[in-house]
Structure 1
Amino acid sequence: MYLLNPIQKILLLLLLSGIFSCSYLPEEKVGAGDLILEETADYILLKSAFVDVSKAGIVFYPGGLVDPHAYITSFKDLVLEDNRVVVILKVSANLAILNSKKASSVISEVTYINQWIVGGHSLGGSTACIDVFNHPDNFKGLFLLAAYSVNDLAAYNLPCVSITASHDEVLELASFNENKVNLPEEINISSPAELPIGSTVGKTIYYEIEGGTHAQFGNYGSQEGDGMAIISPDAQQLLVIKMLQKFLLINQL
């Protein structure tokens, strides 16, 4: 008999609830400014006019039922400050779990970038872990925003970073903590400044943003069941970017 894993159970519940037609949309249109956007049916590619091809690209799975455009502003500073390519995936019904191979597929199309980091928000983060589990040679690192892995990646020789928010009431903390065993060895820090010096390959950095919420990892407004933030979306996303910048720097990515 075929047994559903936890992610598939979530998907089945969504199907039964009939909520495919209800997605979280961006709060407002993003002014591109110096940001260059290349959009296809499968992804939104963000880059600056001075792409540094020596740096790893970032490919990102959106959160469940969140329009991918809601993350453009979230990554804008990372693109423009680091001259790094970011690819935000478009997924069927805005549910990343339906396209768990998409990051591996799309990065092959961006031929001028030679190494990639994969990440995701919420259900998108769990989907990123599935992609890593099935295609470990495709990625040099993993980052999770309010997410956890149900696949066993503990022995995978990757640097990982897991970022959460203290006022997030959507993420199930019990499941989050139970599934820490599926990621490499745990290191807890309270700010980007506390990141270890040197490579964190084979380690998972855990960082909680004080005052942040689940929805503020993107720009799609409030989310049902979420907590009340005491910092702004811009402030929360800036802390995410600062953490990712330092994480990538120390791991020479």
Structure 2
Amino acid sequence: MDTSPTAARVLPARHRTVLFWASVACAAALILVPAWMLAGNPAVLGGHPLLPGILLVAAAAGVVWAILLWVRRDVPRPRSRVRAVGAWAGRIAVLALAAGLAWLSPFAYQPGQAAEAGPTSDLAVTESATAITMSPEGRTATKGLVFYPGARVDAKAYQDILAPAVGAGYRVVILKEPLGLSLLDGSQARSAMADNPDIRTWAVGGHSLGGVSASSFALANTDVSGLVLYASYPIESLRGRTGLSVLSVSGSQDGLSTPAKIQASRDLLPVDTEFAAVQGGVHAFFGDYGAQPGDGEPGISRQAAQQQIAAATVSFLGQLQRN
């Protein structure tokens, strides 16, 4: 029997076989997860281009890996135990990547009955790779709202609930966030404002995690006159931010941004902040994307809740003064 150091370091054949099939599983995951997301969720291709770009790269890597595995399937490849540990670590990382990509699949827009509040009109909607812009048709808007969606929520899910604000004469820009996470580009509102130079008075807003980014943006940018928080709260104090009006709308049955969290946020917001609570409202009622894991049980219909949310938003925007 060969007892040389080289032979002692070679991985047994059955272990190499297991490693081979682990490679097959990794290649399949890199192909199937992007295929499932791209084909099965319209919000992926309709959102920020970063996610579909990453999915296409992952799928291409999976195809190349699968081809190499097929071509080299009969080629014996002795592998030391040290290299095997590294190989297993790499394959675990690939599977974790595939799982992470699957988690990033956004909550897609589920059309509902649009909320109605205040004056209405036809809307002019334009869409780019990074934003959805809604303007009142036939009217000149001088005030605008840049809105950050909640984490992994389709930007289109906020069109209906924000449409009444457009009908009342305000321009609304809903951001398409990179990977559906506003924290990856918290200053994205600046580009939207620059693309609409005719708007003289700006508010920023957001739902859930999007509201956190909107709060930070409002704190750092003094040309923002208003902040609209949907089931959200800041992580930094805005008490010292002068010239900023704030509206905080929450749901009494929200299981994520709970009433206790909203109450605690009062100390971080200006003393004249306007608070509105939708009795029976839940986290997912601030957009149209279906139910959300971890949310509470609603005690009001989605339509009735959204009418209250939209009415509070329209009223708040009407009171904004230019900084």
CA displacement at 1:226 relative to structure 2 = 0.8
After superposition, give the CA deviation of every residue in 1:63-120 in whole Å (9 maximum; x if it has no partner).
011010100111112212x121100001111111111000122111111111211000
Alpha-carbon distance in structure 1 between the residues aligned to 2:188 and 2:261: 25
2:107 to 19, 24, 29: 24
Q: In 2, distance between residues paired with 1:223 and 1:20? A: 13
Given that 1:163 and 1:207 are in contact with CA atoms closer than 8 Å, whether structure 2 keeps it comes out as yes
- Report the alpha carbon displacement of residue 174 of structure 1 after superposing the two structures with TM: 4.5
Tell me the amino acid that sits aligned with residue 177 of structure 1: Q
Distance change (3 Å), C-alpha of 1:34 and 1:250: closer
State the alpha-carbon separation in 1 of the partners of residues 319 and 146 from structure 2.
Answer: 19
One-letter identity of the residue aligned with 2:164: D
Contact 1:20 1:93 in 2 (8 A): no
1:108 aligns with 2:177: no
Alignment of 1:41-120 (within 5 A): 41-54=129-142, 56-80=143-167, 82-120=168-206
Quick one: distance in 2 between partners of 1:66 and 1:139? Answer: 24
Within 5 A, what are the aligned runs for 1:186-197? none
Q: Does 1:140 align with 2:204?
A: no
- Larger helix proportion of the pair: 2
TM-score, normalised to structure 1, is 0.79
Q: Would you say 1:39 and 2:108 are equivalent positions?
A: no
In the alignment, structure 1 residue 156 sits paired with structure 2 residue 225: no
Cα distance between partner residues in 2 of 1:30 and 1:94: 24
Inter-partner Cα distance in structure 2 for 1:138 and 1:41:
25
Structure 2: which 5+ residue stretches go unaligned? 1-96, 115-120
The residue number in structure 1 matching 2:303 is 234
Aligned with 1:227: secondary structure? coil
Shift in Å, 1:132? 1.4
- SS of the residue 2:298 aligns to: coil
Asked whether the equivalents of residues 30 and 72 of structure 1 are also in contact (C-alpha less than 8 Å), the reply is no
For the aligned residue pairs, the C-alpha RMSD in angstroms reads 2.3
Sequence identity (%): 33
What is residue 127 of structure 1 aligned with on the other side? Answer: 213
Match of 2:273 in 1: 204
Contact kept in structure 2, 1:50 and 1:83, CA below 8 Å: no
Give the greater-gyration-radius structure (CA): 2
Letter in 1 for 2:129: A
How far did residue 145 of structure 1 move? 0.6
Offset at 1:220?
0.2
Aligned-pair distance for 1:246?
Answer: 1.8
Q: Secondary structure at the match of 1:116?
A: strand
Task: Give me the whole-angstrom Cα distance separating, in 2, the residues matched to 1:51 and 1:102.
Answer: 26
Report if aligned partners of 2:113, 2:303 keep a CA contact under 8 Å in 1.
no
Q: Which of 235-244 and 161-170 deviates more?
A: 235-244
Separation (CA, whole Å) in 1 of partners of 2:178 and 2:113: 22
